[in-house]
């Protein structure tokens, strides 16, 4: 996979070789100072129908306990889950690692995920569940098996850069203290897109159709991407991942986090600095040229 390739030298010739022991593509959840203390509005059952996005007209100013400037959030209790911190909007920071082919798309796998959330003064943690992890044990149903943790990506504008992923995860919330498994989600689904940052232009939007998968935003979503997200990406960002999901809790350790009715939704915006395949190809071409030039110089000196 091009995200894992380096330039090697074999018999004096530059070739593409897999980097030994390389990990997948690392993504970081997007944050920005403009979002400090601001939260996206959730959709709930009390007549408030938010758009699940920040930097829109329905944002609300939150406590100074939210200093991270998050673009990513999870939303709990849309259908009546009770229990204080178990309701509301939790801004997220963190990372995930995806094994994907940036050259041609196709199948992908989620290798790791850890999101830190803020629930007022308390911390929450979201973790990927892999086969054999404690969250797959009999004490928790068992209701999750740590698979499939994979999906697909259509690496083209004509396919709307479509990204889909199904995975298992568990939630550590303040209810049981830190380091506990409080909620489990089996086969949680993310839908959205993974787009090269270079395509976040008017021309790029004209070539594709991008929407918020949950459908809560009533405005021009592509304009929001161009006006509010693209300018707030780090200068070295190469791809933007936007996904959303929403599901009923599969297992919970307390009736205040009611299994079967409590819904947790997510809006995730993450970026990677992994170079686009064309950049890798140019780097390789430059390396090959340098090797060839050096060989020519050595040959001329030898002559």
For 13-62, the pLDDT digits (tens) are 333 333 333 349 999 999 999 999 888 887 765 556 688 999 998 888 87
Residue 285, in any domain of the structure: no
Q: What is the domain count for the chain?
A: 1
Residue 89, in any domain of the structure: yes
pTM beyond cutoff 0.85: no
For 101-154, the pLDDT digits (tens) are 999 999 999 999 999 988 666 678 999 999 999 999 998 988 899 999 999 999
Residue 6, in any domain of the structure: no
Structural domain of residue 42, as residue ranges? 23-272
Give the pLDDT score at 17: 38
Residue 295, in any domain of the structure: no
For 184-200, the pLDDT digits (tens) are 999 999 999 999 999 99
Residue 134, in any domain of the structure: yes
Q: What is the 3-state secondary structure (H, E, C) of the chain?
A: CHHHEEEEEECCEEEEEECCCCCCEEEEECECHHHCCEECCCECCCCCECCCCCCCCCCEECCCCCCCCECEEEEECCCCCCCHHHCEEEEEEEEEEEECCCCCCEEEEEEEEEEEEEECCEEEEEEECCCCCHHHCHHHCCCCCCCCCEEEECCCHHHCCEEEEEEEEEEECHHHCCCCCCEEEEEEEEEEEEEEHHHCCHHHHHCCCCCCCCCCCCCCHHHHHHHHHHHHCCCCCCEEEEEEEEEECCEECCHHHCCCCCEEEEEEEEEECCCCHHHHHHHHHHHHHHHHHHHHHHHHHHC
């Amino acid at each position: 996979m091009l995200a894992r390739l380096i330039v090697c030298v074999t018999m004096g010739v530059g070739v593409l070789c897999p980097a030994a022991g390389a990990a997948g593509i690392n993504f970081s959840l997007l944050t920005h100072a403009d979002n400090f203390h601001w939260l996206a509005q959730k959709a709930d059952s009390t007549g408030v129908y938010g758009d699940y996005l920040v930097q829109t007209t329905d944002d609300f100013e939150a406590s100074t306990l939210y200093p991270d400037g998050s673009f990513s959030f999870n939303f709990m209790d849309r259908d009546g889950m009770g229990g204080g911190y178990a309701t509301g909007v939790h801004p997220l920071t963190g990372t995930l690692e995806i094994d994907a082919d940036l050259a041609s798309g196709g199948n992908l796998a989620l290798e790791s995920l850890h999101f830190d959330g803020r629930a007022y003064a308390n911390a929450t943690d979201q973790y990927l569940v892999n086969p054999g992890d404690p969250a797959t044990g009999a004490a928790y149903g068992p209701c999750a098996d740590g698979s499939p943790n994979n999906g697909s990506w259509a690496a083209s504008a004509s396919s709307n850069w479509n990204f889909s992923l199904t995975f298992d995860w568990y939630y550590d919330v303040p209810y049981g203290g830190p380091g506990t498994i409080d909620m489990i989600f089996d086969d949680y689904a993310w839908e959205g897109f993974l787009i090269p940052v270079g395509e976040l232009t008017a021309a790029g939007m004209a070539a594709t159709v991008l929407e918020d998968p949950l459908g809560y935003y009533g405005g021009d979503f592509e304009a929001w991407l161009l006006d509010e997200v693209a300018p707030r990406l780090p200068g070295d960002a190469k791809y933007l991942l936007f996904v959303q999901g929403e599901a009923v809790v599969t297992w919970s350790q307390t009736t205040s986090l009611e299994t079967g009715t409590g819904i947790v939704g997510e809006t995730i915006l993450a970026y990677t600095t992994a170079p686009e395949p064309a950049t890798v190809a140019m780097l390789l071409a430059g390396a090959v040229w340098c090797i060839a030039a050096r060989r020519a110089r050595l040959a001329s000196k030898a002559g």
